[in-house]
Amino acid sequence: MSYSASELMTITAARMLYDGCSVFAGVGLPLLAGILAKRLHAPGLQMIVEGGIVDPEVIPGWLPYSTNEMRLAPRATMLPGITDTFLLAQRGFLDFGFVSGAQIDAYGNLNSSVIGSYNKPKVRLPGSGGANDIASLCRDVIVVAAHEKRRLVPAVDFLTSPGARVRHIITNLAVLGFDAERRVRIDILQPGATLEQVLDETGFELLVPERVPTADPPAEAELTALRALDPDRVWL
């Protein structure tokens, strides 16, 4: 079965989530990854969405456009206030948090604020939203982003979200990780991608271990379950 880059990244993310874990998920691919994992292999996984939702189930075809709307309410177990969702993360209850950014550097630092200078930006991006908080407060942070040289940069123009807790960077070409000295390295190649391609599309230096395994391609069961969640292809 062929698949899109978004499908590949979502399935890669879902595979990292284990039964019983807790996930701070934004809308789009992270939410899909959480729901997919829950349906496939992690029935006891619980998600928190920053708009104030605990353990949403979401109706296929009615995926939310924001983290704080009615589409996240069906069969949720609690609707706390927004500040209280972040307080759960600050207290240590959230195992995984997903973030992304327009720029990511070799330390996992992310920029979703401005391209150029803050006071006179070339591009004003939407802003942190909860990204800084998720990156600051969840135990393990997973970055999901398209693998592009202009995105994986030597230095971010603005450090919106700190990379200190980033454990994995999932892209359509690879999964990057960090060694004990927090140097970024390539851990896994995505199916079909080559090492040359990854190095070409990365704007910072990457450690390359002697052997880099290739991930299993998305299985039919994974793709079928994922596509059933987003039949209108809003996110995939």
Q: Which residues of this protein are in contact with other proteins, per CB under 8 A?
A: 27-28, 50-53, 59, 62, 65-66, 68-71, 73-74, 79, 81-83, 86, 90, 113, 118, 120-133, 136-137, 158-162, 164, 234-235
Residue nearer to other proteins on the CB measure, 51 or 177:
51
For residues 73 and 55, give the distance between their C-alpha atoms in angstroms, rounded to a whole number. 9
Q: What phi-psi label fits residue 61: left (phi over 0), alpha (psi between -120 and 50 degrees) or beta? A: left
Residue nearer to other proteins on the CB measure, 6 or 190:
6
For residues 142 and 215, give the distance between their C-alpha atoms in angstroms, rounded to a whole number. 17
Residue nearer to other proteins on the CB measure, 111 or 190:
111
Q: Report the nearest approach of other proteins to the CB of residue 149 (Å).
A: 20
The burial of 88, by beta-carbon neighbours within 10 Å (0-12 exposed, 13-18 middle, 19 or more buried), is given as: middle
Q: Report the nearest approach of other proteins to the CB of residue 46 (Å).
A: 18
Query: Is residue 166 a contact partner of residue 152, using CB atoms and an 8 Å limit?
Result: no
Active-site annotation holds for 181: no
Which residue in the block uniquely carries the two structure tokens 């590949």? 8
Q: Which of 7, 50, 201, 222 is catalytic?
A: 50
Query: Which tokens sit at 118?
Result: 């803050």
Q: Report the nearest approach of other proteins to the CB of residue 233 (Å).
A: 11
Query: Which tokens sit at 27?
Result: 């809308």
Residue nearer to other proteins on the CB measure, 161 or 190:
161
By annotation, the residues acting in catalysis are 50
